[in-house]
Amino acid sequence: MTLKLPKVIGHRGAAGYAPENTIASIRAAADLGVKWVELDVKLTKDNIPIIFHDDDLIRTTGVAGLVAQTSYADICELDAGSWYAESFIGTPIPTLEEVLDVLFELDLGLNLEIKPCPGREKDTAEIAIDYLSRIWDERDNLLISSFQHVSLEAARDLAPDMARGYLIGGSLPDNWQEMADYLEASTINIGSRLVTPDIVEQVMDSGRPLLVYTVNDAMEARRFQQMGVDGFFSDMPDVILENLVKSH
């Protein structure tokens, strides 16, 4: 299956312009002309998949507490926008289901990152994939990614026809190619600090697209593009889009 990967994917929606992982952020990304967004999914205490990044609620809601110990009813009471700007006061934390409706409305592709709370690597993947498989018919504009191998294994076993992105953070493991093969990964997604001409060449040799996060500097994006990087995750996707070298 060939993915319709764009050059730039909006990171957590368009996190440079609206509170991350919210419907406001997704709409901001669409307004900027973005074709895909990247969003994080994790489970509430009562196993509702929500779009949220951290294990703890404090950074984006101002309320201390772990997502894994908070019910969906209590999550609904939280404000995930006022930390960002006054104009976003009252912005809710959306569910995966709510977000999928908006993505369909706006005709956006999705990179869904399985971002499990500790110990919920398998459950988070299984519940999110179950939702997706019932609703998302197209397979060329959907990518499931995770740093957690257990989550990607679960995704592979449950929905082998959904493309998977192998996310790599701190350093490139020696056995990354074996892991990518084992997980049947469609893309390699690495942090910008890891990008070197050698690593780009290694990934290109593996025949997989290389996606790099989180790139907000236009000159850095152009430099990476010249090395052969295929795509970028950005909080300010319009800035990167405007400055990439157009392919003829």
Active site residues: 11, 53
44 three-state secondary structure: coil
Kindly report the backbone phi and psi dihedral angles of residue 243, in degrees, each rounded to the nearest multiple of 5, phi listed first.
-110, -5
143 three-state secondary structure: strand
Q: Distances in Å between the alpha carbon of 204 and those of 198, 220, 246?
A: 10, 19, 20
Q: Distances in Å between the alpha carbon of 16 and those of 88, 137, 145, 191, 202?
A: 13, 30, 22, 18, 31
Single-letter amino acid code for the residue at 7: K
